């Protein structure tokens, strides 16, 4: 669906994207995971035609470059910063962005209704956005991105600054969109979001793609072994193992266990392994 | 075009939701126009007349006739008053002068030592008008005298009165008295045989110390029909300046709130975005102008000289200031900067263009600079269509200048917007 080839982009001396290449398949949720400043938003901005790369190219399969305006009709973008007209109502915001995406009248009305229903804002569609909570604005930001029913949807850090309840609501919407067959590029610096939502994840740092695979594949390749942590009278013991049950029996045979837990590798540990830093650093 | 209209409608909605902005764009210019129109109401007919207070201390039919003559004089705005009141008003700057028709005015002898007399008291700060007033008084005194000699009945009565006075003069010898009295009697006889002059409202030719040949000059400018015909075009201009300043910051607001990014990610060209904003600004300017002028027509009876010329003028003014708005919109990167720059530019244009102070009050060099202000050409174009009676050819210069300014500003703004991306 989306092919990015050897992309380079610098802002002065800062190299924001450095030879990034990746392919995103139709119908998948692709996670672009990396810390703040890793180059995720720059990559998205180039991929949607907002920025021109210094070199490299972006192609949307069957359509062409997103720099072409007609190609942008099949793209939806929910920018990281909320991009809404506070003085307008939710309905007016969604309708406006649908109209400038070229949707005709009757279809636009139907789409505005279904989109607002999808993000659970239909009942409050007549209220000015300025009266909305942060979570509602995030959902509306998503609605505006998808009102024209795009095939490819970019969600740039869509859960920044929202409460856990709203975050879960957004997760549900993303999964529902995947069910509808939409291709989603999801940038985040929260590894649990990538782990929960994404079919495949690209880990990016300093503008370079460090690894790309399914979550399971990344964990297998870079996550290392699971760790059995046991607490005994003599103190805590950490045992890396592929067979935690056998190790647990062995430890119990040696001495009485007060408690134990199993630490499984996650994308945080993958990132640590790849960069020597934590994601939140 | 659909996209352009969508952006324009969205911007109009945003403008309507901003109550303070809406007030300053629509109601403030209306209030300004009404306020100043009301201040100067009826001043149009008296603005160039000398305000004088007149005291009739003679209280005769002759003095009353002279006062009536002054009241009818187009050069004067006459207010009857008592001497005390007149002196006080002039002292306090309430008028140019007072004219007291002194006792004995009717018996005044134009050939003797005791001519008809008036007392003229002029405000010391308005000495320049003193000579003008003296000339006006002499003019009407001469007219009175002329009438005296062209009306046989009045003339013979006066000659008889003067003959009797000459016969009583002790400093003349008897022979001299008889000679003068005889001359006056002969003159009286001649005049009494003349037919009475037809009253055509003009001084009669038989007593005419100076003939002034008058040449008709075709009147091009008949002046505004009322003060509102002057203040409403200015109100329209202030509203348009407000629009330019308000819409000028809308691009910056789009940028700071992030919606510009979303617009640029949409399947739109830069031209669509700018054209949408320009269309919203144009619609607001035209709506504002039409609203104010319809209000002026319905409430104050201000009737435009030519609707088609007015539409031409308003179109040119709107195009000009839409272009200026586009240029203003790219001058600042923050709302505060763009707003400050916008209002600074607008106020300077208004000051130089006669939007605040009439151009004729300005020094010559400043009047020359005013040619560079689109406000001057905007007001001239509107007034040309409203009451100056401009022909289409005369409308062409201000309108062409406005269209040129608008086009250049729009092009520069569009170019600068490209660089800012």
Are B266 and A97 inside 8 Å of each other by CB? yes
Instruction: Pick A69's closest partner by Cβ from B6, B13, B268.
Output: B268
Residues 126-185 of A with CB under 8 A from B: 128, 144
Q: Is the dihedral of CA B391, B394, B400, B403 positive or negative?
A: negative
The partner residue sitting opposite B269, judged by closest CB among A50, A69, A99, is A69
Residues 13-32 of B with CB under 8 A from A: 13-14, 17-18
pLDDT at B187: 78
Q: What is the ipTM of this complex?
A: 0.78
Question: pTM for the full model?
Answer: 0.66
Per-residue confidence in pLDDT tens, chain B, 421 aa: 888 888 888 888 887 887 777 777 777 777 777 777 776 655 544 456 788 999 999 888 888 888 888 888 888 889 999 988 888 888 776 788 888 888 888 777 666 667 788 888 887 767 667 778 888 888 877 777 776 666 777 777 777 877 887 787 777 788 888 888 888 888 778 777 766 655 554 444 444 333 333 333 333 445 567 778 878 888 888 888 888 888 888 888 888 888 888 888 888 888 888 888 889 989 998 998 999 999 988 988 888 888 999 999 999 999 999 998 888 888 777 778 887 888 888 888 888 887 776 666 667 778 788 888 899 899 889 888 888 788 888 889 999 999 999 999 988 988 887 655 5
- The full DSSP string for A23-64 is EE-TT-EEEEE--TTSSHHHHHHHHTTSS--SEEEEEETTTB
The reply to whether residue B17 touches residue A50, judged by beta carbons under 8 angstroms, is no
Who among B6, B258, B264 is closest to A96 (CB)?
B6
Question: In chain B, what residues touch A92 (CB-CB under 8 Å)?
Answer: 10, 13
Q: Which among A83, A92, A99 is the nearest to B262, CB-wise?
A: A83
How many Cβ contacts (< 8 angstroms) between chains A and B? 67
Distance CA(A17)–CA(A238), nearest Å, equals 39
By the CB < 8 Å criterion, does A92 face chain B? yes
CA B379 to CA B134: how far, in whole Å?
38
Token pair 């006459």 is found at B78
For residue B7, the chain A residues in CB contact (below 8 A) are 100
For B264, which residue in chain A has the nearest alpha carbon?
A50
CB B281 within 8 A of CB B244: yes
What is residue B206's predicted lDDT score, i.e. its pLDDT? Answer: 44
- Position of tokens 């380079």? A8
Please give the backbone phi and psi of residue B60, each rounded to the nearest 5 degrees, phi first: -115, 170
Q: Does B3 touch chain A (CB under 8 A)?
A: yes
What pLDDT is attached to residue B7? 87
d(CA A200, CA A181): 15
In angstroms, what is the C-alpha Rg of chain A?
A: 22
Residue A228, helix vs strand vs coil: strand
- The answer to whether the CB of B33 falls within 8 A of the CB of B292 is yes
Question: Measured between alpha carbons, how far is B38 from B231 in angstroms, rounded to an integer?
Answer: 9
Q: What is the C-alpha separation between A122 and A115, in angstroms, rounded?
A: 8
* Chain A nearest CA to B335, separation (Å): 16
CA A16, CA A39: separation in Å to the nearest integer?
Answer: 5
Structure tokens at A114: 């279904």
Phi-psi region for residue A33, left (φ > 0), alpha (ψ -120 to 50) or beta? beta
Residue B220 has a pLDDT of 43
Interface with chain A: mutation pick from B259, B264, B275, B335, highest number of A CBs within 10 Å: B259
CA distance A22 to chain B (A): 21
Which of B70, B69, B78, B71 has the alpha carbon at shortest distance from B96? Answer: B78
Give the integer Cα–Cα distance in Å for B289 and B240: 8
C-beta separation of A17 from A68 below 8 A: no
Tokens 């952006």 belong to B7
B265 → closest Cβ in A48, A70, A85: A48
| pLDDT score recorded for residue B418 | 67
Contacts of B58 (CB under 8 A, 6+ apart): B101, B102, B103, B104, B105, B106
Q: In the numeric block, which tokens belong to residue B166?
A: 């000459």
Low-confidence ranges of chain A (pLDDT < 70): 279-281
Distance from B320 to chain A by nearest Cα, in Å? 27
Residue B244 host element (H or E): helix B227-248
Cβ contact, residue pair A100, B258, below 8 Å: no
Q: What is the pLDDT of residue B313?
A: 93
| Alpha-carbon distance B346 to nearest alpha carbon in chain A (angstroms) | 26
Per-residue confidence (pLDDT) for residue B217, from 0 to 100? 32
Given the structure tokens 């210069």, which residue do they identify?
A: B397
- Please give the distance of CA A67 from its chain centroid, rounded to a whole number: 23
Q: Residues 24..53 of A with a Cβ closer than 8 Å to B: which?
A: 48-50
Mutation to test the A interface, candidates B257, B266, B275, B276, most A Cβ within 10 Å:
B266
Contact B2 A77 (CB under 8 A): no
Question: Exposure string (b/e) for B182-219, b if CB count within 10 Å is 16 or more?
Answer: eebeebbeebeeeeebeeeeebbeeeeeeeeeeeeeee
DSSP of B30-83: HHHHHHHHHHTTTHHHHTTSEEEEEEESS-SHHHHHHHHHHHT-TTEEEEE--H
The strand pairing partners of A263, in sequence order, are A227
Q: Looking at residue B212, what is its pLDDT?
A: 32
How are the residues of chain A apportioned to helix, strand and coil, as percentages rounded to the nearest 5? 40, 30, 30
Using left for φ > 0, alpha for ψ between -120 and 50, and beta otherwise, residue A181 falls in left
Judged by DSSP in three states, B185 sits in helix
CA distance B247 to A84: 18
Residue B2: its chain A contacts at CB < 8 A?
99, 102
Whether residues B2 and A99 touch (CB distance < 8 A) is answered with yes
pLDDT at B211: 35
Task: Note whether B261 contacts A: Cβ–Cβ < 8 A.
Answer: yes
A 10 A CB-CB count for B419 gives 7
Among chain A residues, CA nearest to B250? A85
Q: Which of A50, A100, A104 to mutate to test the interface with B (most CBs of B within 10 A)?
A: A100
Element (H, E) at B320: helix B307-329
Nearest CA-CA distance, residue B263 and chain A, Å? 8
Contact assessment for residue A279 and residue A35, using Cβ atoms and an 8 Å cutoff:
yes
- Could you tell me the maximum CA-CA distance found in chain A, to the nearest angstrom? 75
Q: Which long-range contacts (CB under 8 A, 24 or more apart) does A112-116 make?
A: A112/A147, A115/A143, A115/A146, A115/A147, A116/A90, A116/A91, A116/A143
Contacts of A112 (CB under 8 A, 6+ apart): A91, A94, A95, A98, A147
Q: What residues have CB less than 8 Å from B365, skipping those under 6 apart?
A: none
**Which position has the token pair 């000398």?**
B50
């Amino acid at each position: 669906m989306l092919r990015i080839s050897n992309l380079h982009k610098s802002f002065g001396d800062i190299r924001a994207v450095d030879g990034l290449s990746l392919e995103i398949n139709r119908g998948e949720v692709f996670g672009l995971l990396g810390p703040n400043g890793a180059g995720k938003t720059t990559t998205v901005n180039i991929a949607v035609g907002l920025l021109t790369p210094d070199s490299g190219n972006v192609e949307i399969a069957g359509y062409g470059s997103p720099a072409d305006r007609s190609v942008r009709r099949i793209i939806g973008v929910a920018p990281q910063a909320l991009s809404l007209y506070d003085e307008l109502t939710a309905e007016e915001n969604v309708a406006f962005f649908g109209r400038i995406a070229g949707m005709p009248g009757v279809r636009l009305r139907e789409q505005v209704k279904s989109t607002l229903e999808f993000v659970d804002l239909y009942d409050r569609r007549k209220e000015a956005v300025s009266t909305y909570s942060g979570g509602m604005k995030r959902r509306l930001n998503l609605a505006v991105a998808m009102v024209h029913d795009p095939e490819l949807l970019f969600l740039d850090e869509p859960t920044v600054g929202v409460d856990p309840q709203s975050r879960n609501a957004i997760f549900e919407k993303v999964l529902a969109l995947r069910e509808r067959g939409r291709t989603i590029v999801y940038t985040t610096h929260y590894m649990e979001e990538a782990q929960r939502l994404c079919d495949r994840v690209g880990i990016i740092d300093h503008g370079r793609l460090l690894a790309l695979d399914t979550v399971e594949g990344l964990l297998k390749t870079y996550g290392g072994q699971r760790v059995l942590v046991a607490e005994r009278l003599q103190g805590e013991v950490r045992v890396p193992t592929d067979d935690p049950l056998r190790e647990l029996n062995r430890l119990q045979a040696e001495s009485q266990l007060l408690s134990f837990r199993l630490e499984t590798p996650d994308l945080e540990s993958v990132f640590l392994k790849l960069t020597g830093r934590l994601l939140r650093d | 075009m659909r996209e352009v209209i969508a952006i324009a409608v969205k911007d109009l909605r945003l403008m309507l939701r901003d109550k303070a902005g809406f007030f300053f764009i629509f109601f403030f210019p209306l209030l300004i126009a009404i306020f100043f129109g009301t201040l100067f109401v009826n001043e149009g007919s008296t603005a160039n007349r000398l305000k004088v207070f007149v005291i009739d201390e003679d209280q005769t039919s002759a003095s009353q006739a002279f006062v009536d003559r002054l009241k009818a004089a187009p050069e004067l705005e006459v207010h009857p008053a008592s001497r005390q009141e007149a002196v006080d008003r002039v002292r306090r700057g309430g008028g140019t002068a007072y004219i007291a028709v002194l006792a004995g005015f009717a018996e005044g002898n134009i050939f003797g030592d005791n001519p008809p007399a008036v007392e003229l008291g002029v405000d010391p700060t308005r000495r320049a008008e003193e000579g003008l007033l003296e000339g006006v008084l002499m003019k009407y005194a001469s007219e009175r005298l002329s009438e005296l000699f062209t009306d046989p009945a009045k003339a013979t009565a006066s000659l008889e009165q003067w003959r009797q006075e000459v016969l009583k003069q002790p400093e003349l010898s008897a022979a001299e008295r008889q000679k003068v009295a005889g001359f006056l009697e002969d003159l009286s006889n001649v005049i009494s045989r003349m037919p009475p002059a037809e009253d055509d409202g003009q001084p009669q030719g038989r007593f005419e110390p100076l003939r002034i040949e008058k040449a008709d000059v075709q009147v091009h400018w008949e002046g505004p029909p009322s003060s509102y015909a002057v203040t409403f075009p200015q109100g329209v201009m202030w509203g348009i300046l407000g629009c330019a300043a308000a819409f000028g910051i809308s691009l910056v607001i789009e940028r700071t709130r992030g919606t510009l990014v979303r617009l640029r990610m949409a399947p739109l060209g830069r031209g669509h975005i700018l054209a949408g904003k320009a269309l919203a600004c144009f619609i607001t300017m035209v709506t504002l102008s039409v609203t104010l002028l319809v209000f002026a027509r319905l409430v104050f009876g201000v009737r435009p000289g030519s609707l088609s010329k007015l539409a031409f003028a308003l179109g040119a003014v709107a195009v000009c200031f839409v272009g200026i708005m586009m240029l203003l919109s790219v001058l600042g990167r923050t709302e505060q900067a763009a707003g400050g720059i916008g209002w600074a530019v607008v106020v300077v244009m208004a000051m130089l263009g006669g939007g605040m102070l009439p151009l004729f009050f300005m020094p010559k060099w400043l009047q020359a600079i005013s040619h560079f202000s689109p406000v001057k050409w905007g007001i001239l174009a509107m007034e040309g269509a409203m009451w100056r009676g401009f022909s289409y050819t005369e409308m062409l210069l201000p309108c062409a200048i406005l269209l040129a300014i608008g086009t250049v500003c729009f092009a520069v703004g569009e170019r600068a917007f490209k660089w800012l991306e």
